[in-house]
Amino acid sequence: MKSNLVIIIHIFICSFFASHLQASDRVDSPEEDFLSLAATPPMGWNSWNKFGCNVNEDLIKEMADAMVSSGMKDAGYTYIVIDDCWQVDRDQDGFIVPDPEHFPSGIKALADYIHGKGLKLGIYSCAGSLTCQARPGSRGHEFQDARQYAEWGVDFLKYDWCYNEGRNAEAAYKIMSDALKACGRPIVLSICEWGENEPWKWGKGVGHMWRVTPDIRDCFDCLFDWGGVVVLNIIDVMADLYPYAGPGHWNDAEMLEVGNGGMSKDEYISHFSMWSMLAAPLMAGNDLRKMDQETIEILTNKEVIAVNQDKLGKQAVRFMDMGDHEIWAKPLSDAEIAVCFLNRSLQEWNLDYDWKKQTMYFARDINIHKYEYDIRDLWKHKQIGTTGRNTKTTIPPHGCLMVKLSKKNK
């Protein structure tokens, strides 16, 4: 009897303390810890789109300098990612060897430099025996490589899929995922198998983001005989994938082409707006040292970036598809909502939009019929009316109108 009483008192004390633990005292599960490394879509810069294989340590340092001086760091960009071609060989013990000609100071020194700027370093490898540029891949060396990255101070790994020799993708990525989880340093894993094995179905908890298409080309709406996809192709693939995105696990719409010269200003604005609506990682892919004002303004538009980085982590839904004209909506925290009117055509869109006719069925907190919302244009940075009246404007060819709705007089 006495011992029963002791047990009851013990249970009471334990449950009292458990229910009074502060959030900060709680120990997250390994799964929550892993997801928290990319609680919002990762933002940074990657060398591939602009520089291909022509990478070296001075270039990477200059990009880190420019990320700070251009205001991109202040806007939220963090990762400087060296893509393919930094590695040349393995030594006799199987350790990966950085190219001594182009990275003479080694990767650790580069990581230190980048960390000194308050930024993080990303690196690239491949689940196959070779990378896509035929440098040594990580197959058979996953744990050794992960430990090496941790020693160097790497914070992000883009992991490709060339020379995969018919392996099972989920299993192959899981090996590197396990290696990174065991390496002693938090490292974000970017799965890059081009959407071939539906990574959105198995990628959560394995990596933090997964590519959904082959490589992007710097065009809004072109056909390339030799492969690759353009902005509209990627948007169409992303459209069906919204259920798979959320904090710690993102559909990767590919690195940005903003500033690389192949698209018009309106097209780059649509590209950046839609990547933000789609909660896609924002990885700039241009030369950060040589940006004109227009490019800086697009890449650092904090109101648009706030939509991308919203902590709810919802990916936009294409809730009206009228062929050339589409309306996308992304629920945000605080019962706000971002809406993007996308003009896919080469003609102007004379918009005359009656908000009261629509029901945003996918956004439970949003009731366009019950409340009136203020409408803010996120590119003009000003209020443009309320949902009580029609929104009338002209949207240029391949352009968009991106707005945020907030409950009036909130």
- How many residues would you count in the chain? 410
Minimum distance of ligand GLA from residue 65's CB (angstroms): 23
Rg (CA), the chain: 23
Minimum distance of ligand GLA from residue 223's CB (angstroms): 19
Q: Please check whether residue 300 is in contact with residue 72, taking contact to mean a CB–CB distance below 8 angstroms.
A: yes
Q: How many residues bind ligand GLA (CB under 6 A)?
A: 10
Nearest residue (CB) to ligand GLA, 57 versus 83: 83
Question: At CA 13, angle to CA 9 and CA 14, rounded to 5?
Answer: 115
Minimum distance of ligand GLA from residue 323's CB (angstroms): 30
Answer for which of 66, 192, 206, 337 binds ligand GLA (CB under 6 A) is 192
Contact status: 260 vs ligand GLA (CB under 6 A): no
Answer for which of 43, 55, 123, 132 binds ligand GLA (CB under 6 A) is 132
Partners of 136 in beta bridges? 130
- CB < 8 Å & 24+ apart, contacts of 352-355: 352/390, 352/391, 352/392, 353/390, 353/391, 353/392, 354/390, 355/387, 355/388, 355/390, 355/391
Contact status: 229 vs ligand GLA (CB under 6 A): no
23-31, 63-71, 129-137, 229-237 -> range binding ligand GLA (CB under 6 A)? 129-137
Contact status: 257 vs ligand GLA (CB under 6 A): no
Residues in 39-58 that interact with ligand GLA by CB under 6 A = 48
Q: CA-to-CA distance for 322 and 341, rounded, in angstroms?
A: 11
21-29, 37-45, 131-139, 324-332 -> range binding ligand GLA (CB under 6 A)? 131-139
Contact status: 336 vs ligand GLA (CB under 6 A): no
Annotated catalytic residue, options 160, 252, 310, 374: 160
Residue 65 is among the residues annotated as catalytic for this protein: no
The 10 Å CB-count burial string (b at 16+, else e) for 10-25 is eeeeeeeeeeeeeeee
State the amino acid at position 379 in one-letter form. Answer: W
Annotated catalytic residue, options 99, 215, 365, 377: 215
Q: CA-to-CA distance for 393 and 131, rounded, in angstroms?
A: 48
Task: Measure CA 374 to chain center.
Answer: 28
Q: How many CB atoms lie within 10 A of CB 61?
A: 17
Reduced 3-state DSSP string for 305-342? HHHHCCCCCCCCEEEEEECCEEEEEEECHHHCEEEEEE
Q: Tell me the per-residue interface mask from 288 to 327 with ligand GLA, x by CB under 6 A, - otherwise.
A: ----------------------------------------
Nearest residue (CB) to ligand GLA, 213 versus 273: 213
Residue 83 is among the residues annotated as catalytic for this protein: no
72-80, 125-133, 175-183, 370-378 -> range binding ligand GLA (CB under 6 A)? 125-133
Contacts with ligand GLA, residue ranges (CB under 6 A): 48, 83-84, 131-133, 160, 192, 194, 215
Query: Which sequence positions are flagged as catalytic?
Result: 160, 215
